[in-house]
A and B are shown apart, each in its own frame.
Chain A
Amino acid sequence: MIPATFDYAAPTSVEEALSVLAEAGDDAKVLAGGQSLLPILRMRLNAPEKVVDLGRVEALRGVRDGGDHIAIGSMTPYSEVVGNALVQEHAGLLAKAVETVADPQIRHRGTVGGALVHADPAGDVGAPVLALDATMVVVGPGGERTVGAGEFFHDLFETAVADGELLTEIRIPKHTGWGSAYEKFVRVSHQWSIVAVAATVKAEGGTITEARVGLTNMGSTPLRATAVEQALVGKGTADLADACAAAAEGTNPPSDLNGDADYRRHLATVLTRRAVQHALGG
């Protein structure tokens, strides 16, 4: 379909983008890869007066080594994240999750920052970012601030990024040497997750010393399965099931054509066990 008419701006720096946004006020929308925004505009679910395209803000693109963390520019497309050596080495979980997003065309356009701000609970970026204890860098008229992943996701399609603000960077503490797996359950390959589980573990001699588990599409935001994380410490491949049985505790998954909430809760426990097992190299 054809979107309603809008004005278009293509700033080349973060400062310029912020001032264009400030000028436009409530009626502006930021455009990153457009893989969520454009369908929304085309189906006329939203009709902003101005679209501010970040595509030419070079500073927002790329991955750099930040010492104890890696820093991913919000405009870095999925395809770059998947293939990036720093991400693979220090945040393998994110690379594995992002690899499952949609199809190559969409991964070529869609960005990590766009996905996080869009905050679709069925999206595949939130759970790994949450599990990896990332910190988001947000800039706005009042300057720069950082938000922990745990405080970033407020609700369905709602995050800590306010109107007039930009997400600029995602900082992920290095998880060097951790095993990881993203178990995504779908009916057809290009589908959003019915349920997915992001797991990354540190192990010594086959025994888990630290574990991080994030859940996709088990509520209105990505969720962290902290009870499972704690229960996994000290466990090995042979005794994961009990520790993973609580994966769905406290979750409130949706019911739709792909499955009802009970089925999703069941899937979460099975997929958590499988994800942890794969993360352990099993």
Chain B
Amino acid sequence: MTAVDDRPTTSPEIGSARRRKEDQRLITGRTKWTDNIQLPGMLHLAMVRSPFAHAKIASIDTAEASAAPNVVRVFTGHDIADIQGVNITAWPISPDQKTPDHLPVPLERVSHTGEIVAVVVARSAAAARDAAELVDVDYEELPAILDLKEAANDAVLAHPDLGTNKSAFWQLDSAAQGSGGDVGEAIEKARQDGIVIEREYRQQRLIPAFMEPRSTVVDPTGEQVVMYSATQVPHILRFCIAATTGLPESKIRVIAPDVGGGFGGKLQSTPEEFATLAVARKLGKPCKYTETRSESMISAHHGRDQWQKLTLTAEKDGTVTGLKVDLMADLGAYAAIVGGGVPVLGAWMFNAIYKFPAYQFNCTTYYTNKTWVDAYRGAGRPEATFAIERLMDELAAEVGVDPLEIREKNWIKHDEFPFTSVAGMTYDSGNYEAATARAKELFGYDELRAEQKQRRESGDPVQLGIGVSTFTEMCGLAPSRVLGSLDYGAGGWESASIRMLATGTVEVITGASAHGQGHETAWSQIVADRLGVPFENVEVLHGDTQIAPKGMDTYGSRSLVVGGEALVRAADKVIEKAKKFAAHSLEASVDDIEFSAGQFTVRGTDKGVGISDLALAAFAAHDYPEDVEPSLDADATFDPVNFSFPHGTHLCAMEVDTETGATKMRKYVCVDDIGNIINPLIVEGQVHGGLVQGIAQALWEGAEYDEQGTLVSGSFVDYTLPTAADTISFVTDHTTSPATSNSLGTKGVGEAGTIASTPAVVNAIVDAVRDRGIDDIEMPCTPERVWKAIQSAGGRQGAGVTPTQQPHFDEGTPNQDPSAGTTDGAVQ
């Protein structure tokens, strides 16, 4: 009696490398990206943006622009002041945090280049763009503070009315919270008879550079205001709109159609969204705004931007005794939605996988007149991982042992799990020994070390370095009670619903709003296995607050470990409900009903009924048990009790051309432990993409401002984003220590590659030239920086080298005229 066949085979979906069901529409673009949306009578917006980093808006003359062809109206901040709302921060990291008002369109003063000062509305995007050039803004330039370290002096203020550039201070002290000893004592002791390593590292500013520029369409013509937006966080956005614009939450519907990437860059409530909303409401007409890439670079939030002062102490034999972290974090002009919380997320991760007996983390956040800074893939953990993994290499060099040896000496052993860290986190599972052993084997560690030695001894102009990163991270944001204790403005639960349709297909609703990750495929695999229905019969719905009313969206590698568990729980509720229907139809006791692979059977008999038959029975409702509702549908909300702690060992070999400073990746191996894997192909994609983003921080990317506060790297000509042509084939593998914090045993993988790879690459470059006395190269490690480091260290002689000893960057071609000796100093 079923309309759709039950699942034909029983081979498990979980673990199968299915191709992503959403890819056809995403790759061909035959889908609804926000910018594709056309509504009747829709108007188009262009933003007038400040060319100054800091200026008073003396006056704005909109007359000429307003009179331009096809222009409907030009709005300044004053014109929408009553309804424009504010862009809020959800995480004031201290009770006395200083937070400047962040108006979407400021009225008095602009605080960074690219801030919106007026909005032009026209009948076409071209007309709006033409007229935007006619808006005449009279700015009175103010002194701008651009440098993070100078910001700390308060000589020039980003926001004069705050009286200081300092936003907040946040500390975690292991002695004070009772999770470890006193770091001051550890340092004092190490100064007497141990090792003290002090370093200062720079985390440069990065631009998330998602593929689809941000776009927003607002339709105010119905009872509800509908906002379509290229956002990662439709639910959070709806909350922010309701909280600040006066629109009741129930009158707002936010839709994130297919979204082309975010990497944290679309985890925001943006001025552009709020300005579009305000203007559409004022005019009562649908309005669209789509940013250009240049606008995206200067106005969408940036990532990272820290100075890290680090003190690591150890016994003479390399046993770590303490770690003290002093961070300066640049928030840019405003406290963004996670804001100061991003660097604070690093607090639990600097200690990483090592058994530090004493630890202290200090973080001070500052404002500058630059683009605001917020979450970017990894958010706080890449910064922490970079610092500790660089430091462990420094410690190894100091002790004179292999970097893997120093790590092994200090890491948590596999039989010590669950392990509560000095920062107070309980790592549920892991096996660092296993991942490292496998990585070494795949890498050919000993062979590469031998080659390194040989190149060093022969004075090869191309030196080889090996970099290690034995990372862990905390993800799966987040237990709501923990967030509450940190004054974060929301919870970290996730929601799922399952609707069993009459014809046998299944609708799955998730609050985790995918923007390219492949949720539709992975969620279908989970439900197919759990309910015993065909993969193809599962439809995953998300990204619309009317269809998926509850959710906390996608970021922090949370979707699977939190949202996936909600899904499992909803499925289990469906099964429990269906058991009663099965018992009724099979005339058996509920206690005798067993469920497996989509079939309900009576224990000890061959009597059974399929789950889709029961769905139809519940739909028809002609004959069902008296004590239940005629529905198999179920909802679940899962609030995790712990984070998820993926870990892994990443090994990287880099060649450094000492003549030019050019670096080239020779080999990259990573063995990640992300617990059980739902879809290996999706995992592979996440790992590869993540690695490239982390490698890009090490080698290529950096947002640079000039002295006027103009973003110099404001296009992809100067912001050197890598492409596939710049990367090598990565070797990836996994060890499996299932997570205990969710029943699927999964750990997050969305950010792991990015978190792990940056220090592996920099460690490798430093390792290649460490024998010259070099112990750091600032990121991105451009050829110029590498070459200058070599120059200032006084390069060694490369004389007496024979041609065969000179493998070049390009295989098979010699690197240097053998008889020419070194070219060091050839410039002067």
Chains A and B are bound partners: yes
Interface residues of A (CB under 8 A from B): 1-2, 4-5, 43-44, 103, 185, 187-192, 194, 237-242, 245, 248, 256-260, 262-263, 265-267, 269-271, 273-274, 277-278, 282
Complex CA distance for A273 and B819, rounded to whole angstroms: 12
Q: Are B788 and A263 in contact (CB under 8 A)?
A: yes
Partner among B713, B783, B817 whose Cβ is within 8 Å of the Cβ of A238: B817
Q: Are A267 and B660 in contact (CB under 8 A)?
A: yes
Kindly provide the distance from the CB of B527 to the nearest chain A CB, expressed in whole angstroms: 41
Chain B residues near A194: list those with CB within 8 A.
783
Beyond A187-B783, A188-B722, A241-B820, 17 extra complex contacts between A and B, CB < 8 Å: A5-B126, A187-B700, A188-B725, A188-B726, A189-B725, A194-B783, A240-B820, A245-B826, A256-B718, A257-B713, A259-B784, A262-B827, A263-B788, A267-B660, A271-B660, A277-B814, A282-B814
Chain B residues near A263: list those with CB within 8 A.
784, 787-788, 827
User: What would 5 A/B residue contacts be, using CB atoms closer than 8 Å?
Assistant: A5-B126, A257-B702, A259-B783, A263-B827, A269-B827
- How many residue pairs, one in A and one in B, have C-beta atoms under 8 Å apart? 97
Kindly provide the distance from the CB of A197 to the nearest chain B CB, expressed in whole angstroms: 12
Query: In this assembly, does B782 line the interface, its C-beta being within 8 Å of a C-beta of chain A?
Result: yes
Query: In this assembly, does B16 line the interface, its C-beta being within 8 Å of a C-beta of chain A?
Result: no
Complex CA distance for A113 and B818, rounded to whole angstroms: 39
Query: In this assembly, does B59 line the interface, its C-beta being within 8 Å of a C-beta of chain A?
Result: no
Kindly provide the distance from the CB of B399 to the nearest chain A CB, expressed in whole angstroms: 34
Q: Are B133 and A237 in contact (CB under 8 A)?
A: no
Chain A residues near B700: list those with CB within 8 A.
187-188
Complex CA distance for A269 and B827, rounded to whole angstroms: 8
Query: In this assembly, does B683 line the interface, its C-beta being within 8 Å of a C-beta of chain A?
Result: no
Kindly provide the distance from the CB of B453 to the nearest chain A CB, expressed in whole angstroms: 26
Chain A residues near B787: list those with CB within 8 A.
263, 266
Chain A residues near B816: list those with CB within 8 A.
273-274
Query: In this assembly, does B212 line the interface, its C-beta being within 8 Å of a C-beta of chain A?
Result: no
Complex CA distance for A100 and B828, rounded to whole angstroms: 29
Chain A residues near B708: list those with CB within 8 A.
none
Chain A residues near B814: list those with CB within 8 A.
277, 282
Question: Which residue from chain B places its CB closest to the CB of A186 in the assembled complex?
Answer: B720
Kindly provide the distance from the CB of A38 to the nearest chain B CB, expressed in whole angstroms: 14
Q: Are B660 and A270 in contact (CB under 8 A)?
A: yes
Complex CA distance for A187 and B785, rounded to whole angstroms: 12
Tell me whether A273 and B294 are in contact in the complex, defined as CB-CB below 8 angstroms, given that A259-B784, A263-B784 are known contacts: no
Kindly provide the distance from the CB of B782 to the nearest chain A CB, expressed in whole angstroms: 6
Chain B residues near A267: list those with CB within 8 A.
660
Q: Are B294 and A240 in contact (CB under 8 A)?
A: no
Query: In this assembly, does B67 line the interface, its C-beta being within 8 Å of a C-beta of chain A?
Result: no
Complex CA distance for A239 and B814, rounded to whole angstroms: 14
Complex CA distance for A241 and B813, rounded to whole angstroms: 17
Chain B residues near A258: list those with CB within 8 A.
782, 784
Count of B residues near A, CB < 8 Å? 41
Partner among B129, B713, B721, B813 whose Cβ is within 8 Å of the Cβ of A2: B129
Query: In this assembly, does B250 line the interface, its C-beta being within 8 Å of a C-beta of chain A?
Result: no
Q: Are A189 and B723 in contact (CB under 8 A)?
A: yes
Chain A proximity mask over B129-145: 1 for CB below 8 Å, otherwise 0: 11001000000000000
Question: Which residue from chain B places its CB closest to the CB of A282 in the assembled complex?
Answer: B814
Chain A proximity mask over B266-298: 1 for CB below 8 Å, otherwise 0: 000000000000000000000000001010000
Tell me whether A259 and B782 are in contact in the complex, defined as CB-CB below 8 angstroms, given that A1-B129, A185-B660, A187-B700 are known contacts: yes
Complex CA distance for A185 and B702, rounded to whole angstroms: 19
Q: Are A269 and B720 in contact (CB under 8 A)?
A: no
- B588-625 at interface with A (beta carbon < 8 Å): none
Query: In this assembly, does B717 line the interface, its C-beta being within 8 Å of a C-beta of chain A?
Result: yes
Q: Are B294 and A257 in contact (CB under 8 A)?
A: no
Complex CA distance for A262 and B828, rounded to whole angstroms: 8
Chain B residues near A271: list those with CB within 8 A.
660
Tell me whether A190 and B725 are in contact in the complex, defined as CB-CB below 8 angstroms, given that A241-B820, A257-B713, A267-B660 are known contacts: yes
Query: In this assembly, does B712 line the interface, its C-beta being within 8 Å of a C-beta of chain A?
Result: yes
Chain A proximity mask over B491-502: 1 for CB below 8 Å, otherwise 0: 000000000000
Query: In this assembly, does B732 line the interface, its C-beta being within 8 Å of a C-beta of chain A?
Result: no
Complex CA distance for A248 and B827, rounded to whole angstroms: 8
Q: Are B294 and A43 in contact (CB under 8 A)?
A: yes
Chain A residues near B818: list those with CB within 8 A.
238
Chain B residues near A189: list those with CB within 8 A.
723, 725-726
Complex CA distance for A241 and B818, rounded to whole angstroms: 10
Query: In this assembly, does B541 line the interface, its C-beta being within 8 Å of a C-beta of chain A?
Result: no
Kindly provide the distance from the CB of A253 to the nearest chain B CB, expressed in whole angstroms: 11
Query: In this assembly, does B659 line the interface, its C-beta being within 8 Å of a C-beta of chain A?
Result: yes
Chain A proximity mask over B673-712: 1 for CB below 8 Å, otherwise 0: 0000000000000000000000000011010100000001
Partner among B723, B817, B819, B826 whose Cβ is within 8 Å of the Cβ of A266: B826
Q: Are B725 and A237 in contact (CB under 8 A)?
A: no
Among B129, B700, B725, B820, which residue has the most Cβ atoms of chain A within 10 A? Answer: B820
Complex CA distance for A220 and B662, rounded to whole angstroms: 25
Query: In this assembly, does B179 line the interface, its C-beta being within 8 Å of a C-beta of chain A?
Result: no
Kindly provide the distance from the CB of B805 to the nearest chain A CB, expressed in whole angstroms: 15
Tell me whether A188 and B721 are in contact in the complex, defined as CB-CB below 8 angstroms, given that A263-B787, A266-B827 are known contacts: yes
Q: Are A5 and B130 in contact (CB under 8 A)?
A: yes
Q: Are B823 and A269 in contact (CB under 8 A)?
A: yes
Partner among A4, A239, A270 whose Cβ is within 8 Å of the Cβ of B659: A270
Complex CA distance for A282 and B817, rounded to whole angstroms: 9
Chain B residues near A188: list those with CB within 8 A.
700, 720-723, 725-726
Chain A residues near B813: list those with CB within 8 A.
278, 282
Partner among A1, A5, A190, A245 whose Cβ is within 8 Å of the Cβ of B723: A190
Kindly provide the distance from the CB of A35 to the nearest chain B CB, expressed in whole angstroms: 12
Query: In this assembly, does B125 line the interface, its C-beta being within 8 Å of a C-beta of chain A?
Result: yes
Among A2, A194, A258, A266, which residue has the most Cβ atoms of chain B within 10 A? Answer: A266
Complex CA distance for A188 and B664, rounded to whole angstroms: 11
- B794-828 at interface with A (beta carbon < 8 Å): 813-821, 823, 826-827
Tell me whether A1 and B713 are in contact in the complex, defined as CB-CB below 8 angstroms, given that A185-B660, A270-B660 are known contacts: no
Question: Which residue from chain A places its CB closest to the CB of B823 in the assembled complex?
Answer: A270
Chain A residues near B659: list those with CB within 8 A.
270
Q: Are B130 and A273 in contact (CB under 8 A)?
A: no
Q: Are A2 and B823 in contact (CB under 8 A)?
A: no
Q: Are A241 and B817 in contact (CB under 8 A)?
A: yes
Question: Which residue from chain B places its CB closest to the CB of A238 in the assembled complex?
Answer: B819
Chain A proximity mask over B110-151: 1 for CB below 8 Å, otherwise 0: 000000000000000110011001000000000000000000
Complex CA distance for A277 and B129, rounded to whole angstroms: 52
Chain B residues near A1: list those with CB within 8 A.
129, 292, 294
Complex CA distance for A194 and B717, rounded to whole angstroms: 12
Complex CA distance for A188 and B663, rounded to whole angstroms: 11
Complex CA distance for A262 and B827, rounded to whole angstroms: 7
Q: Are A269 and B826 in contact (CB under 8 A)?
A: yes
Tell me whether A257 and B704 are in contact in the complex, defined as CB-CB below 8 angstroms, given that A238-B818, A240-B820, A263-B787 are known contacts: yes
Complex CA distance for A262 and B126, rounded to whole angstroms: 44
Question: Which residue from chain A places its CB closest to the CB of B46 in the assembled complex?
Answer: A2
Chain A residues near B826: list those with CB within 8 A.
245, 266, 269-270
Tell me whether A240 and B817 are in contact in the complex, defined as CB-CB below 8 angstroms, given that A187-B783, A257-B712, A265-B827 are known contacts: yes
Chain A residues near B721: list those with CB within 8 A.
188
Chain B residues near A245: list those with CB within 8 A.
826
Chain B residues near A265: list those with CB within 8 A.
827
Chain A proximity mask over B443-472: 1 for CB below 8 Å, otherwise 0: 000000000000000000000000000000
Chain A residues near B725: list those with CB within 8 A.
103, 188-190
Question: Which residue from chain A places its CB closest to the CB of B814 in the assembled complex?
Answer: A282
Kindly provide the distance from the CB of B706 to the nearest chain A CB, expressed in whole angstroms: 10
Question: Which residue from chain B places its CB closest to the CB of A4 in the assembled complex?
Answer: B130
Complex CA distance for A239 and B817, rounded to whole angstroms: 7
Chain B residues near A269: list those with CB within 8 A.
823, 826-827
Kindly provide the distance from the CB of A236 to the nearest chain B CB, expressed in whole angstroms: 10
Partner among A192, A242, A270, A273 whose Cβ is within 8 Å of the Cβ of B717: A192
Question: Which residue from chain A places its CB closest to the CB of B724 in the assembled complex?
Answer: A189
Kindly provide the distance from the CB of B34 to the nearest chain A CB, expressed in whole angstroms: 18
Question: Which residue from chain B places its CB closest to the CB of A260 in the assembled complex?
Answer: B784
- B707-752 at interface with A (beta carbon < 8 Å): 712-713, 717-718, 720-723, 725-726
